[in-house]
Chain A
Amino acid sequence: MQSDKGFFGRFGGSYIPEILHASQQALLNAWNQASVDADFLAEVDRELQQYSGRPTPLTPCPNLSRELGGAQVFLKREDLNHSGAHKMNNVIGQGLLVKRMGKKRIIAETGAGQHGVASALIAARLGLECTIYMGARDIERQYPNVFWMKQLGATVVPVTSGGQTLRDALDEALRDWSADPSGSHYLIGTACGCAPYPEMVAEFQSVIGREVRAQSLQQFGALPDSIYACVGGGSNAAGIMLPFIDDQSVELVGVEAGGRGPAPGDHSIRLSDNLGSPGIAQGFATMFLQDDQGQLMETHSIAAGLDYVGVSPILAHLNDTGRVRMTAANDDEVMHAFQTLLRCEGIIPALESSHAVAGALRDIPAMSPDKKVVINISGRGDKDIFNVASAVKDTEFGPFLQRYLERELQA
């Protein structure tokens, strides 16, 4: 989706400190050239195929469809990307752009750690130096991802300011970029930030929607009737939705993190239910969760990847125009959806993606059986083993960890 000088309706823009202006302009120029360069786009496609394993399948779900008794369900399997999430599509694109620009170092922020791992992977493959900022609280929640980032040779910097989560990590990444604007590239993980990041990340992710279009026509001879995606920063949603933006027959549904409930600090609902309000921070204008003084609020989700205070300006705009219908699923609904998919189809979705499943499960029983619904499984759930074990109150998991620790301490 092309912006109007970096704006999507009333959202987007480049609200960055002056120190970053020259680098932002250089990135804008590099992207404008690369995005119409057939050789560059072919190189991205080749790497998506040979390194990440694309195309990812569109998986029919006959058991789930039968159980729900409504529309037919198909899953877009972004969980089958290398690294286990759609994040790979973006880091391959930006990584190759960094090489093209001749920069040697990337900076990334990460929340759950999926984008951090993807950045560390592409840095290793392309020979780039990599520094990753991660909130100290997120490190506590997601240490296994930190472990892999370090093994891959990345420097992981814990961020101890503020709420010590994704938003603080993003601020810290901007500070690092300010210290070395011409030598480093800020590899943002979602379709947020200053121009051209929202547009560029959404374009790299649009491979998801382009594949869904071709696979739908091939597998059931029509476009889907509805597409569901979870919305944290918004990159997997933008990626699967934008190729269908002009197909008015295709309903587009975004599902935010309803968390524990609508109280401030208990959720990450920026667009549905009138909980967010317009603001300008972290380099761009969008809908933020903020107080009456314009201070950004703390957020919560059972899925760390949705735990973000802002949202892509592209999604904020599509919500404004009504092209995308936004809704939210709370933590309990999400765990129920997670278990339903697991048992019906033998697929373990990420808790983030389980929000999209939860949103779809609510609507599908009321839809006619000839309708086709596509749910974006943006990532796999293996990473959520600790959260899920705790949520399902697995009695063996704790003692297992205890025995593991005892063995390690003795060794």
Chain B
Amino acid sequence: MSRLQTFIEQQRKDKPILLMTHVVYGYPTIDESLALMRDLLSEGVELLEVQFPFTDPSADGPSILHACHQALQQRPTLARCLADIAAIGREFPASRILLMSYLNPLYRYGLARLPRDAANAGIAGFIVPDLPLELADDFRHSCVAAQIEPIWMLTPETPPARMQQICAAASGMLYCVSRRGVTGADKATSPQNRNQHEDQPLEDYLAAIRTTTALPLAVGFGIRTGTQVQALHGLADIAVVGSGLLDAFNRGGRTAALEQVRSVRG
């Protein structure tokens, strides 16, 4: 069993669900983003997802897109991001940090050396939305060698056969995208007059995944209230709050972000 999975299962022994919060590295400045990460970890969030910004984040909605573009004004480098995460990770050994980015900044850094460097920085896993499983053989091997987890995503559009394939390849945890569309509040990203399909209820979707894998399940996209998080008790292991936290930060800074965390914890 991977170290990340062991950590999640140990944490879950006395908690109905864990929280994964999200911070864009460099937004609104590098120092302020690091301060927010420290606040969230001091608050006791079990998992922290740090997004290294990219100019073209095609799976992200307006909130994170805007934050990425603002963060890029700071001209962040992935090397410094890794060093900053290493420092924070040493201060908060009771939590785990995941690095999220799109493929191109990671590719420019070097997909062969990144897993080792990230593992040395104490990072537990990667979330790369535009790297599909079937094009990731080399990256997966480098991750195995470095003992760091590439975290794969499942979506309501993933057919059963592919779900089995992804679950078989996965380790650490799975990221279950709660619905179609991009990150953020649902209303803002729905195209006008889009075809309405019969959506299967979230509990059926998660139950189907649960019958396929014993790995911990994280659920994200559109999760921003305590009610939504409570509804995931018994269905998932981790609730991911990303854009909701960012929207709170934009309204009232780090104080509001921390209030949001307390409120979703219920």
Contacts and interface: CB of A to CB of B under 8 A. Distances in A.
Interface of A: 13-23, 104-105, 107, 129, 131, 155, 161-162, 167-168, 171, 174-176, 178-184, 279-283, 288, 290, 292-296
A18 B191 contact: no
A175 B104 contact: no
A58 B247 CA distance: 57
A280 B104 contact: yes
B228 interface: no
A280 B58 CA distance: 12
A129 B195 CA distance: 11
A283 B76 CA distance: 23
Interface string B172-193: 0000010011100000011111
A13 B192 CA distance: 30
B12 interface: no
B153 A18 contact: yes
A167 B69 CA distance: 14
Given A19-B59, A295-B104, 7 more contacts: A14-B132, A15-B135, A155-B192, A175-B59, A175-B189, A180-B194, A279-B108
Contacts of A168: 56
24 contacts: A14-B132, A16-B130, A17-B59, A18-B129, A18-B153, A18-B155, A22-B158, A131-B191, A155-B192, A162-B55, A162-B69, A167-B56, A175-B58, A175-B59, A176-B191, A179-B191, A180-B191, A181-B157, A184-B194, A280-B104, A282-B58, A294-B54, A294-B108, A295-B55
Nearest to A175: B182
Given A129-B193, A181-B157, A294-B107, A21 B162 contact: yes
Given A183-B197, A280-B130, A22 B192 contact: no
Interface string B129-156: 1111001000000000000000011110
Contacts of B69: 161-162
Interface string B46-66: 000000001111110110011
Contacts of A280: 103-104, 107, 130
By secondary structure, the A interface counts as mixed
Interface residues of B, number: 49
Nearest to A284: B130
A214 B57 CA distance: 45
B84 to A, nearest CB: 15
Given A175-B58, A282-B56, A282-B58, A21 B107 contact: no
Contact of B55 (A182, A184, A296): A296
Nearest to B111: A280
A228 B189 CA distance: 42
A17 B108 CA distance: 19
A180 B66 CA distance: 23
Nearest to B102: A281
B99 to A, nearest CB: 14
A281 B135 CA distance: 14
B158 A21 contact: yes
B164 to A, nearest CB: 14
A386 to B, nearest CB: 29
A180 B157 CA distance: 10
B54 A179 contact: no
A283 B130 contact: yes
A153 to B, nearest CB: 12
Contacts of B61: 175
Contacts of B6: none
A293 B62 CA distance: 22
